[in-house]
Amino acid sequence: MRLEPKPAPSIAVALLYPAGAVVVTLALTALLVLAAGASPLSVFGLVARGAAGSQFAILETLTRATPLIFTGLAVAVAFRARLWNIGAEAQLYAGAVITVVLGTGALPWPSWLLLPAIAISAMIAGALLLLFPAVLKTRLGVDEVVTTLLLNFVVLLFVSMLLEGLLKDPMGLGWPQSRKVIEAAQLPRIITGKRLHYGFALAIASAVIVWVIMKKTALGYEMRAVGHNPEASRFAGIPVNRVLMKTAILSGGLAALAGFSEVAGLKGNLTLDLSPGFGYSGIVVAMLAMLNPLGVVAAAIFVAGIFVGADAMSRTAGVPSYIADVMVALSLLTMVVAILLMRFRVRWR
Amino acid sequence: MTEALDILLTASFWVAAIRIASPLIFATMGELICERAGVLNLGIEGIMTVGAFAGWFTVYSGGDLWAGVAVAATAGAMFGLLHAILTVPLGLSQHVVGIGITLLATSLTAFTYRLLLPEVTSPPKIEPFQPLPIPGLSQIPVVGEALFSQTPLTYLAFLTVALVAWVLYRTPLGLAVRAAGENPSAVEAQGISVSGIRIGAVMVGSALMAVGGAFLTMSAFNSFFFEMINGRGWICIALVVFGSWRPGKALLGAILFAAFDAYQVRLQQITGALVPYQVFLMLPYLLSILALILVARRATYPRALMIPYQKGER
Amino acid sequence: MTPQPPTVLRLTGITKRFGPVTANDAISLELRQGEVVALLGENGAGKTTLMNILFGHYVADEGTVEAFGRPLQPGDPRAALDAGIGMVHQHFTLAENLTVLENIALGTQKLFAPRLDRSAARRRILSLASDFGLAVDPNAIVAALTVGERQRVEILKALYRHARILILDEPTAVLTPAEADALFATLKLLVAQGLSVIFISHKLHEVMAVSDRVVVLRGGRLAGEKAISETNRSELATLMVAQDVHLPPIVDVAFGARLLLLDQVSTAGRVSGARLDRASLALKAGDITGLAGVSGNGQAALAALLAGTERMTAGTVELFGEKRGAWGAREALQLGIARIPEDRHAVGTIGDMSVTENVILESYRGRRFCRRGFLDWPAARAFAEGIIRDYEVKCPSPDARIRLLSGGNMQKLILGRALDPEPRVIVANQPTRGLDVGAVAYVHAQLIKARDRGAAILLISEDLEEIVALSDRICVISKGRISEPSRRGAKTIPQLGEMMAGHGLEAAHAS
């Protein structure tokens, strides 16, 4: 079996490949649904209705998509430069911690000043958290996959420590949770009375900005060059290590915004279950989007829809909601195969 | 202070250390085999989860303990096969596929658990492997007690290390595996299928990872709960690097690591509430990062690690 | 009349296509016992592809292979090995961190045997080594061996497996002339014992020296077949080269100012393996300096140093008349030093990026393409279109991934990118390796054009004939040391060959 490179297909054909990946994912998931003794069609119908069948469902999906857009962007940016940031989960919590530290009254500023200050501080925290493994990678050759993965556990324990210590809410009845952020540190709701908040708008804006950076700027060009071929980049005079540092700052910062947006926009405080694995799902989102920043928005909404829809479905159909995690993981694997088939022709002889 | 040092001299401490090391030994050997053949297997965390569940569930539903181990190994090998198909002949990114396998294995386990035990709130226990002291040897103070009053699975872990070392360095197969991780074209030029070697290595390695997971449910905690692997897989990847891809060194690394882990638990009890317990729980992960940093400069990776190979390519 | 020795190998009508390219077009070939057949052809003529099919690395689209009268299972190296065919690849297939014994024994014992029998393997290796004059230490780690020793290990690998047919792919490319002679002696011993050899080469003098029969390939087709006793070099040369390609006449130019001087420079060998050892070299305006040498003698270090990716540990550098330290890659470009890298796939281009993105790789920071951090893509695309036009690059569009281009077209893009800013110094490292004849001539013409406009050019090549044809002055590099330059024609090819083996270089430096 051999793989031969082939010319890039037209946009229309290029979209068939991810579509094919989704179809294969659905087919495989259908087998699990059958194993659970339910009818795949009705289950998928329930998932779709739960994700997009009503205004409430749609808003819920978009709310859930918000952190996924941020982590998806973080991963997309990092993977483009082939910096394997599997630590978006930790960077998210770093952003959340900063939001709570600065947003619970430490800074008595008006909202228009406080929110940007917190957001930027959160991004710095996330950036620093990824800079550490990035420096270990460039200076010592320590594989960043393992270090970022391990740091996820360290940071989560650190947060747990803070929530039982420095940041503990005295009124929390002993639960490990922080105090709520003050009103000036809250992102307003987009529609009054609904959960969708301006974090979503920030996420969309971030996606556009990242798209511009990747497509239009010298930095984005450098990041892509370094990701595709570091040796040729170095030969051409691109400061590879510096580009990786900038990538780490951007990626870590974006992931931290997910934590900021969840705390300041949705939850109001920090708990240990702030993120049900948004950092890991971000990898799936980024791959589904083929690392395209605008595609990340669509992919995040898709993945969020599966989670929200599966929650609703499991309440009525009795199929465990973990089916959503299975679907998301499957779609990651089918998608990488689809991308391969898009770029290479498989010859069996 | 002397109290803190006295711990090191007690047999119970070393018994615990060896027990903690056992699952790490299995999984580290599994990862080592994969990497020696040139494949980084980041599916390890998920495959351990599958193994933990598969072994436990087999016993829970009436199976024999050893049948549980066999089922766990088979399940692990199947996920290894999927990983290998995607990364070896298709040459997909070992990073992305590995993470994907971990996500898939973990979520499938959670799904299956909920499907099979929908109503259960607290995880049911099973009758685990019992310690099997080896007469005579287990009477030797401290060392003998620590090594020879363990469960059969721990003995199997040590046997596995010896077996892996023998196969890698003393058999034609091991030579082919090592060569596949160094220069796959050398393997193909001698008429051996690189894909075959790599797929086989990833399957066997993944089976060992799964047995490592099964140790946790069948020889340590006696029941299955989500997130019980808790980063052990990632730690094993660090241990492989720390052990310079050599079975003996990796074994030593695992024991050292486990001793440290056992030590911090006891230290926690001594220091009481002075230091938050999370600090102690963080130590294994920080220690792994430190280990990676320490060996980074002199690490000699298998040269073809993470580089896909296409037939006829040089 | 003695009866003809039996045919041991027969290739019939072999055709192999890679996408639009037909690498082998209905080639047939026969090999008899105890003879050396040379497979002669330019780079890209299809020699290596043909041998890869024979050895099972590729499967032919059409045609059959027969060994010792039996058809050979296609696409299976194991079948080729079992049939007694051994291949010594151009790039050795040795695992460097394993021992000689392990490399040779790999795959020769039952894969699932409980034990690797090392002592039997050692005995057999030593006996083969003494039979054929191939001395090696079975316990040595391959990484510690010289290139010549590694080649011996490769031949031993084949002999160990009872090969009756040995295929050598460009075996002398990495050898000094003396090592090559030793190899030829070994080949004579082999055929005397009844083995048959296919010897792939593009060097006429070697073919004339060692083979009994020669098969010439050109552009993927069989161009002719001759007994060595009935042919001569010029006939073979005409068969091998498609059209009459002749270099533009070289006019003797007066050397201009000295643009670059390396004085007693040593390098760290951080990125490039063999290092420079107190090497001195001067490049002058309007002059092509050819650097001859066997690969792995410090050429990579020199090229990397000038390209700005290698550090200097001793010595001084003078550029455009000013003493200064070494430079980085970006600085080199700003100073007007153009680089044509040895490996265009791994270093010269980024395969998964477009032609446009690749041509601005060295200049994207400049005002021409970049304003306040934003890239001017229309300008970049226009630049790419200009290079495609001016350098006659065949490519579907500036937006195509460069990976899809042929080696020659890729090299033309690299040339265009490097020569566009009219650099004063040009470092061309193996600029024609692996190109077809037309592309080679094109590259040569461009270098001469740049020389004529006053650039100082360093041409690093392992092809002595290329050096002699193109250079105004010739230096030789050996073990990290560079000889004094000599005018073209001042030294014969054998004399240069002696120097490549290291003779006379110490003396040159002692003075």
CATH number at residue C82: 3.40.50.300
Enclosing domain of residue B91: 2-119+150-296
- Domain contains B242: yes
Instruction: Assess whether C268 and C229 both reside in one domain.
Output: no
- Find the residue in A nearest to C331 (Cα): A237
Q: According to the model, what pLDDT value does residue C432 have?
A: 87
Among C330, C328, C280, CA closest to C305: C328
- Find the residue in B nearest to C101 (Cα): B175
Helix (H, G, I), strand (E, B) or coil at A342: helix
* Local confidence pLDDT in tens for the 314 residues of chain B: 567 777 777 888 899 999 999 999 999 999 999 999 999 999 999 999 999 999 999 999 999 999 999 999 999 999 999 999 999 999 999 999 999 999 999 999 999 999 998 877 788 889 899 988 888 888 888 778 888 888 999 999 999 999 999 999 999 999 999 999 999 999 988 889 999 999 999 999 999 999 999 999 999 888 998 889 999 999 999 999 999 999 999 999 999 999 988 888 888 877 766 788 888 889 889 989 998 998 887 778 888 898 888 765 54
Which residues from C are below 8 Å from B when comparing CB atoms? 52, 57-58, 77-78, 80-82, 87, 89, 91, 93-98, 102-103, 105-116, 157
Instruction: Assess whether C304 and C411 both reside in one domain.
Output: no
User: What is the C-alpha separation between A208 and A80, in angstroms, rounded?
Assistant: 16
Cβ-based neighbours of C454, under 8 Å, separated by 6 or more: C256, C285, C286, C424
Q: Are strands C213-218 and C221-227 parallel, antiparallel or unpaired?
A: antiparallel
User: What is the C-alpha separation between A281 and A296, in angstroms, rounded?
Assistant: 12
C341 contacts in A (CB within 8 Å)? 235
DSSP-assigned states of every residue in C48-114: HHHHHHHTTSS--SEEEEEETTEEPPTT-HHHHHHTTEEEE-SS----TTSBHHHHHHTTTS-TT-S
Residue A104 CB-half CA count within 13 A: 19
Angle (CA) C195 C200 C203, round 5°: 125
Helices (H), A136-239: 144-164, 198-216, 218-228, 230-235
Residue B160 burial (CB count, 10 A): 21
Enclosing domain of residue C375: 351-420
Q: Report DSSP state, residue A189.
A: B
Instruction: Assess whether C365 and C446 both reside in one domain.
Output: no
Q: Say if the Cβ atoms of A150 and B289 lie within 8 Å.
A: yes
Helix (H, G, I), strand (E, B) or coil at A335: helix
Helices (H), C308-403: 329-335, 355-359, 377-390
Residue C220 burial (CB count, 10 A): 23
β-bridge mates for residue C198, sequence order: C37, C167
Give the count of Cβ contacts less than 8 A between chain A and C. 78
User: What is the C-alpha separation between B85 and B78, in angstroms, rounded?
Assistant: 11
Contact C401, C352 (CB under 8 A): yes
Q: According to the model, what pLDDT value does residue C245 have?
A: 44
User: What is the C-alpha separation between A182 and C130, in angstroms, rounded?
Assistant: 87
Question: In whole numbers, what is the pLDDT of chain B averaged over residues?
Answer: 91
CA dihedral for A274, A279, A281, A282, sign (positive or negative):
positive
Q: Say if the Cβ atoms of C364 and A349 lie within 8 Å.
A: no
Neighbours of A, requiring at least 3 CB pairs below 8 Å, are B, C
Å from A337 to nearest chain C CA? Answer: 17
- Residues C358-393: pLDDT tens digits? 999 999 998 899 999 999 999 999 999 999 999 988
B89 contacts in A (CB within 8 Å)? 1
Per-residue confidence band for C507, with pLDDT thresholds at 50, 70 and 90: very low
User: What is the C-alpha separation between C302 and C478, in angstroms, rounded?
Assistant: 12
Angle (CA) C27 B193 C165, round 5°: 40
Q: In the predicted model, is pLDDT for residue C143 greater than 90? A: no
Contact C332, C339 (CB under 8 A): yes
Least confident stretch, B124-128, C325-329, C463-467: C463-467
- Residues C87-128: pLDDT tens digits? 888 788 899 889 999 999 998 999 998 999 999 999 999 999
DSSP-assigned states of every residue in chain B: -HHHHHGGG-HHHHHHHHHHHHHHHHHHHHHHHHHHTT---TTHHHHHHHHHHHHHHHHHTT--HHHHHHHHHHHHHHHHHHHHHHHTTS---HHHHHHHHHHHHHHHHHHHHHHHSSS-SSPPB---PPP-PPTTGGGSTTHHHHHHSS-HHHHHHHHHHHHHHHHHHHSHHHHHHHHHHH-HHHHHHTT--HHHHHHHHHHHHHHHHHHHHHHIIIIISSB--TT-STTHHHHHHHHHHHTTT-HHHHHHHHHHHHHHHHHHHHHHHHHTTSS-HHHHHHHHHHHHHHHHHHHHTT----TTTT----TT--
How many structural domains are present in chain C?
3
Cβ-based neighbours of A298, under 8 Å, separated by 6 or more: A289
Å from A3 to nearest chain B CA? Answer: 8
Residue bearing the bigger pLDDT, C19 or B267: B267
Low-confidence ranges of chain A (pLDDT < 70): 349
β-bridge mates for residue C258, sequence order: C284
Q: Say if the Cβ atoms of A323 and B110 lie within 8 Å.
A: no
Domain boundary (C183, C210, C240) is at C240
Cβ-based neighbours of A216, under 8 Å, separated by 6 or more: C374, C375, C377
Cβ-based neighbours of A44, under 8 Å, separated by 6 or more: A26, A30, A33
User: What is the C-alpha separation between C23 and C44, in angstroms, rounded?
Assistant: 8
How many structural domains are present in chain B?
1
Q: According to the model, what pLDDT value does residue C250 have?
A: 55
Question: In whole numbers, what is the pLDDT of chain C averaged over residues?
Answer: 86
Helix (H, G, I), strand (E, B) or coil at C125: helix
- Domain contains C344: no
β-bridge mates for residue C456, sequence order: C287, C425
Distance of CA B17 to the CA centre of its chain: 15
Å from B247 to nearest chain A CA? Answer: 20
- Domain contains B135: no
Among B188, B128, B136, CA closest to B152: B128
- Residues C397-447: pLDDT tens digits? 899 889 888 888 899 999 999 999 999 999 999 998 877 777 888 899 999
User: What is the C-alpha separation between B264 and B259, in angstroms, rounded?
Assistant: 9
- Domain contains C345: no
Q: In the predicted model, is pLDDT for residue C509 greater than 50? A: no
- Domain contains B252: yes
Partner residue opposite C116 with nearest CB, options B175, B182, B303: B175
User: What is the C-alpha separation between A147 and A220, in angstroms, rounded?
Assistant: 25
Instruction: Assess whether C261 and C230 both reside in one domain.
Output: no
User: What is the C-alpha separation between C399 and C28, in angstroms, rounded?
Assistant: 40
Least confident stretch, B88-97, B227-236, C23-32, C460-469: C460-469
Å from B47 to nearest chain C CA? Answer: 26
Q: According to the model, what pLDDT value does residue B266 have?
A: 83
Cβ-based neighbours of C237, under 8 Å, separated by 6 or more: C204
The Cα-based distances of B271 to A164, A298, B115, C92 in angstroms read 18, 51, 43, 60
User: What is the C-alpha separation between B283 and A88, in angstroms, rounded?
Assistant: 21
User: What is the C-alpha separation between C408 and C434, in angstroms, rounded?
Assistant: 8
Q: Say if the Cβ atoms of B185 and C93 lie within 8 Å.
A: yes
Q: According to the model, what pLDDT value does residue C510 have?
A: 39
Cβ-based neighbours of C420, under 8 Å, separated by 6 or more: C363, C383, C387
User: What is the C-alpha separation between C24 and C222, in angstroms, rounded?
Assistant: 9
A2-347, CATH topology level: ABC transporter involved in vitamin B12 uptake, BtuC (1.10.3470)
ipTM score above 0.90: yes
Q: What phi, psi does B229 have (nearest 5°)?
A: -70, -40
- Domain contains C342: no
Q: In the predicted model, is pLDDT for residue C396 greater than 50? A: yes
Residue showing tokens 């461009």: C446
Give the count of Cβ contacts less than 8 A between chain A and B. 132
Residue A66 burial (CB count, 10 A): 28
Q: Say if the Cβ atoms of C96 and B185 lie within 8 Å.
A: no
Contact A181, A263 (CB under 8 A): yes
The Cα-based distances of C214 to C2, C11, C64, C90 in angstroms read 21, 15, 21, 19
Q: According to the model, what pLDDT value does residue C247 have?
A: 47
Instruction: Assess whether C415 and C440 both reside in one domain.
Output: no
pTM: 0.91
Q: According to the model, what pLDDT value does residue A232 have?
A: 94
Which residues from A are below 8 Å from C when comparing CB atoms? 4-8, 216-219, 221, 224-225, 228-229, 231-239, 349
Among A209, A187, A181, CA closest to A199: A187
Instruction: Assess whether C68 and C31 both reside in one domain.
Output: yes
Q: Is B312 on the interface with C (CB under 8 A)?
A: yes
User: What is the C-alpha separation between A216 and C377, in angstroms, rounded?
Assistant: 8
A235 contacts in C (CB within 8 Å)? 307, 309, 329, 339, 341, 347-348
- CATH number of domain containing B260: 1.10.3470
C113 contacts in B (CB within 8 Å)? 171-173
Q: According to the model, what pLDDT value does residue C75 have?
A: 82
Contact C431, C419 (CB under 8 A): no
Å from A343 to nearest chain C CA? Answer: 10
Å from A10 to nearest chain B CA? Answer: 23
Domain boundary (C187, C213, C240) is at C240
Q: According to the model, what pLDDT value does residue C78 have?
A: 84
Q: According to the model, what pLDDT value does residue C506 have?
A: 56
Partner residue opposite C113 with nearest CB, options B171, B192, B314: B171
Query: Which sequence spans correspond to the domains of chain A?
Result: 2-347
Instruction: Assess whether C400 and C266 both reside in one domain.
Output: no
Angle (CA) A53 A55 A61, round 5°: 75
Å from C109 to nearest chain B CA? Answer: 6
Instruction: Assess whether C266 and C291 both reside in one domain.
Output: yes
Q: According to the model, what pLDDT value does residue C241 have?
A: 66
Q: Say if the Cβ atoms of A239 and C330 lie within 8 Å.
A: yes
User: What is the C-alpha separation between A151 and C446, in angstroms, rounded?
Assistant: 54
User: What is the C-alpha separation between B182 and B187, in angstroms, rounded?
Assistant: 9
Instruction: Assess whether C467 and C362 both reside in one domain.
Output: no
Residue C384 CB-half CA count within 13 A: 27
- Domain contains C499: yes
Distance of CA A178 to the CA centre of its chain: 23
- Domain contains B306: no
Residue showing tokens 């770093």: A94
